[in-house]
């Protein structure tokens, strides 16, 4: 996401590698779940446990970045077009994100990209009818008849909303269902829901400096066959403040890492419980940099620990 440490390869050069078929970049050893429809572009992908459908490991969040005046959304059109060109599929939004759903819907219709994307959004309200009204608005704003993933935002009235979501999934309006949260303080409740509800997805915060999900959430998701989407992969931007102006560790080259953004993202997706990380951006160059994290080698367990230790020393 930033230019720090981008010394061996420019973002544009990295994007050319990502977009070229047969680039010969190595996937991590033993990653049986890594093959995907985007293999020709070198993008690592992992299956949704409940279906086997594969998703690229780097997606696109839209919090704040897509909350713009629709008349001023031209730069975001380039972001979405580039995202798809580089092998991206998962775009995540929410009615809580201001105008993001509307902007996404307008751009997907204008660019004819709906069929290329795995579209995820959320419901964030209390009560059955309020949830129904909210989700109907999401369909209208996103200009689609089917939403790939509907999630209960921050567990808000989760049992009520999940009942409706399950009904609509059975009708074919949603393909998958899940729950989300962005704070480790809510993980106890997230754990309870994962244990008692049949879910396809959980979305939680996880980063090299916010590792609480490793204790129960990630192991339980693997045990229960639940796909995991990661929000706040950069710790809300705090990680970039920590490393600003500082060079990457020399060993980053061992796992095809050329920027701090890739360093942070590769650390996350090296965990086999993680299905997809969704860094948010409205900048094409940052997008290209983020996408590069899904290509090439990933750190093994030993190197992942070295990454934690190296960051702790900064």
Domain residue ranges in the chain: 11-312
Confidence grade of residue 196 (pLDDT, cut at 50, 70, 90): very high
**What is the model's pLDDT at position 285?**
97
Is the distance from CB of 187 to CB of 202 less than 8 angstroms? no
Is the distance from CB of 298 to CB of 80 less than 8 angstroms? no
Q: What is the DSSP string of 241-291?
A: HHHTT-PPPGGGGGGT--SHHHHHHHHHHTSTT--EE--B-S-HHHHHHHH
Give per-residue pLDDT as tens, 121-136.
999 999 999 999 999 9
List the 201-205 sheet strands across, edge first: 60-61, 90-92, 118-123, 147-152, 174-180, 201-205, 227-231, 276-277
Give, in order, the Cα–Cα distances in Å from 115 to each of 82, 111, 210: 15, 11, 34
Please check the confidence at residue 9 and state whether its pLDDT lies above 60.
no
Average pLDDT over every residue of 10-32: 37
Nearest 5°: the CA angle 275, 85, 45 is: 20
* Superfamily for domain range 11-312: NADP-dependent oxidoreductase domain (3.20.20.100)
Residue closest to 307 by CA, chosen among 262, 244, 245, 241? 262
Please check the confidence at residue 191 and state whether its pLDDT lies above 70.
yes
Give per-residue pLDDT as tens, 42-57.
899 999 999 999 999 9
Beta bridge partners of 65: none
Q: Which of 14-28, 172-186, 234-248 comes out lowest in average pLDDT? A: 14-28
**What is the model's pLDDT at position 237?**
84
- For residue 101, what are the contacts with CB-CB under 8 A and spacing of at least 6? 93, 94, 95, 121, 138, 141, 142
Average pLDDT over every residue of 300-310: 98
Please check the confidence at residue 21 and state whether its pLDDT lies above 50.
no
Average pLDDT over every residue of 289-311: 97
Beta bridge partners of 61: 92, 280
């Amino acid at each position: 996401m930033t230019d720090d440490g981008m010394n061996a390869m420019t973002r544009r050069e990295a994007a050319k590698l990502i977009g070229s078929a047969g680039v010969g970049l190595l996937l991590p050893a033993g990653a049986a779940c890594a093959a995907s429809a985007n293999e020709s572009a070198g993008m690592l992908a992992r299956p949704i446990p409940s279906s086997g459908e594969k998703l690229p490991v780097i997606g696109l969040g839209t919090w704040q970045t897509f909350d713009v005046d629709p008349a001023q959304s031209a730069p975001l059109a380039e972001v979405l077009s580039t995202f798809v060109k580089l092998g991206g599929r998962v775009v995540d939004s929410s009615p809580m994100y201001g105008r993001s759903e509307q902007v996404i819907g307008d751009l997907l219709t204008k660019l004819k990209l709906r069929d290329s994307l795995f579209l995820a959004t959320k419901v964030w309200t209390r009560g059955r009818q309020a949830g129904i009204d909210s989700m109907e608005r999401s369909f209208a704003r996103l200009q689609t008849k089917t939403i790939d993933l509907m999630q209960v935002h921050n567990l808000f009235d989760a049992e009520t909303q999940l009942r409706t979501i399950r009904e609509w999934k059975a009708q074919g309006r949603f393909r998958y269902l899940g729950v989300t949260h962005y704070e480790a303080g809510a993980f106890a409740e997230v754990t309870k829901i994962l244990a008692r509800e049949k879910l396809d997805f959980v979305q939680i915060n996880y980063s090299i400096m916010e590792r609480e999900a490793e204790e129960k959430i990630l192991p339980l998701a693997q045990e229960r066959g639940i796909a995991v989407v990661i929000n706040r992969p950069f710790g809300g931007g705090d990680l970039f403040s920590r490393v600003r102006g500082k060079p990457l560790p020399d060993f980053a080259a061992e796992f095809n890492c050329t920027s701090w953004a890739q360093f942070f993202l590769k650390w996350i997706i090296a965990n086999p419980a993680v299905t997809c990380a969704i860094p948010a951006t409205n900048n094409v160059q940052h997008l290209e940099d983020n996408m590069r994290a899904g290509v090439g080698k990933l750190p093994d367990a030993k190197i992942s620990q070295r990454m934690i230790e190296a960051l702790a020393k900064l």
